[in-house]
Structure 1
């Protein structure tokens, strides 16, 4: 059904008229995405935007159009929005659903997890370049696509509300992990510097949102730009790091497989250093905090969604959100145990 809707939506964009191969992609948690290929060669990425998550689609697209011109650079692979026949960046179908078409980055690959330090270094390098290119974007011109997206206070309030309204069955299943969340949050100290500069951030820098060249292994760009908005660098840093130091999938059921690999963190930091991005002393001090905060935030969001009967994230099986939360809380615990070592690496590689 969804593929037929995608085929109809594709007809409304200004592209060559021909029979394309439309393949659903299941990697994303929020939007429904489709690879559009011509004779086996990927040409476009078609997305059905989730208006329940992104409740102001116009703002989202305004942000995207504002940043894309800044991402044209010899060191960064750009993507383009394809216009509709009405010369708009979005197509809205008869059901009020929003569709967007973007160019596909050829000969590229992404990874959910990795043990490869070269990939970690390249991820750090391209993240630094991304931030370097966007440093001159007027922050006043961009708005929050999801207000309070990385606010710990907001996520804990949502978690508390979900607990009050959850079914007894789900509360019982999640009881152990609810207690774990409460224990971890007591150890997350928000004693970070108050003078952190506001930047234009990606805000969803898990590893599979980085594209790499199949031929050279070099990082090309970041994708999934719907959460690009003002934010703080330690969140982008921590979100990427959580998927690099731990080689397990985000919903790994065997927590004994979850680890914190400091050498991967060092490689990521070396790539960041190579990018030429300049961070303030306050930002460097906040990096270890961000590395703990981000897996915990994702874990509490997944647990909240589980208690809310899986309204936010796409799931492939009934308890997937619970498994996500358990795995992510474990990553947060492992990172917390390595906080001092990570802080030492930051100082040694990036300086004070």
Structure 2
């Protein structure tokens, strides 16, 4: 397959198509990713194209990561933080034909999973995301620029939903009536969050914001956590973004694309592993308010994602890739079933949290 890679991109890093092998890798939906293998040095690198439709200001990503890398290098030099490799001109990214590219070191003997198969994997991933947040506890979050403004802002997502509801066709509104009613009934989640949002002990932290299992590298043999990857969305946020996204994506054996809602169940062993892994790093720095909102973090992110899928359906499926016309509506149903599972198991889930605090 002919790879769509401009030779000027390689030239920016001192390579060309004659002295390097190129293979497209990864399952991410946002950025194009390549594995580069140098023939003379026998080294490997990751090369990524930044999707400027999603990340409107790529320079904010580069600036954020440089600030964090400098901070961690000075205070925790042994921590593996994957920083961009500079171009031959000393720049953080290469700009070629109005496209932004960055090169990263390839970490050998590691694996990135698309699906969790053991609770221990959830533990290791949650521990790695918690560790990064802990190490950056004293870093001033306000020094970072949001790379996707409003990304996990539930009030913003609810406003988007209501706008779509007002503008959609009668046909789509009728088709999604049950899910629309469900979305409106669950607005209490947004109201509950607002009642906490101005508390002094509910701080903005440096948050990854995209903590799915594929965004952490594990040892390819032992599956021990090595480091966090895909750092484009690191920006100021609440702890609930990271933990909530883990709860949304780790607890069920099936993704949001599963249409058999009877399969959408919470795996208690994965919940316990995720909570234990995260709290093994974050327990001593979480505030009383944050500890109170641990289980709520799952509700917050699941509800937000349900709103986003439903909004996209009402807007005519403009954002999320679909394989059939009602897929975003089915994804919405899936997320509301997962939200229902949180409520159905609330007592046991809270008990697990309390045992680990």
Q: Which category of TM-score, normalised to the shorter sequence, fits these structures?
A: 0.7 to 0.9
Deviations 1:259-304 (A, max 9, x none): 1122211112222233365212211101111111111112211222
For 1:331 and 1:309, the matched residues in 2 are separated by 24
**Is the CA contact 2:189–2:299 (under 8 Å) kept in the aligned structure 1?**
no
C-alpha RMSD of the superposition: 2.7
* Match 2:240 to one of 212, 227, 234: 234
Q: Which residue does the alignment assign to 2:154?
A: 152
Q: Which residue does the alignment assign to 1:22?
A: 23
Report the Cα offset of residue 167 of structure 1.
Answer: 4.5
Q: Which residue does the alignment assign to 2:10?
A: 10
Q: Which residue does the alignment assign to 1:224?
A: 230
TM-score (norm 2): 0.86
For 1:90 and 1:167, the matched residues in 2 are separated by 43
**Is the CA contact 1:30–1:312 (under 8 Å) kept in the aligned structure 2?**
no
Report the Cα offset of residue 173 of structure 1.
Answer: 4.1
With over 3 angstroms needed to count, the CA separation of the structure-2 counterparts of 1:342 and 1:160, relative to structure 1, is: same
Residue 93 (1) aligns with residue 96 (2):
yes
For 2:323 and 2:77, the matched residues in 1 are separated by 39
Deviations 1:204-236 (A, max 9, x none): 112221221111110111211111111111221
Residue 249 (1) aligns with residue 287 (2):
no
Q: Which residue does the alignment assign to 2:213?
A: 207
**Is the CA contact 2:309–2:329 (under 8 Å) kept in the aligned structure 1?**
yes
Q: What pairs up with 1:29-108 in 2 under 5 angstroms?
A: 29-37=29-37, 43-71=44-72, 73=76, 76-94=79-97, 96-108=98-110
Structure 2: state its 5+ residue gaps: none
Aligned length: 347
Deviations 1:106-158 (A, max 9, x none): 22222333241111221222122111111122223112222222221110101
My pick for the range that moved more, 328-337 or 164-173, is 164-173
* Match 1:263 to one of 263, 269, 277: 269
Report the Cα offset of residue 257 of structure 1.
Answer: 1.0
- DSSP 3-state at the match of 2:226: strand
With over 3 angstroms needed to count, the CA separation of the structure-2 counterparts of 1:140 and 1:340, relative to structure 1, is: same
With over 3 angstroms needed to count, the CA separation of the structure-2 counterparts of 1:111 and 1:6, relative to structure 1, is: farther
My pick for the range that moved more, 282-291 or 167-176, is 167-176
Report the Cα offset of residue 305 of structure 1.
Answer: 2.4
Structure 1: state its 5+ residue gaps: none
Report the Cα offset of residue 187 of structure 1.
Answer: 5.6
With over 3 angstroms needed to count, the CA separation of the structure-2 counterparts of 1:297 and 1:9, relative to structure 1, is: same
With over 3 angstroms needed to count, the CA separation of the structure-2 counterparts of 1:70 and 1:256, relative to structure 1, is: farther
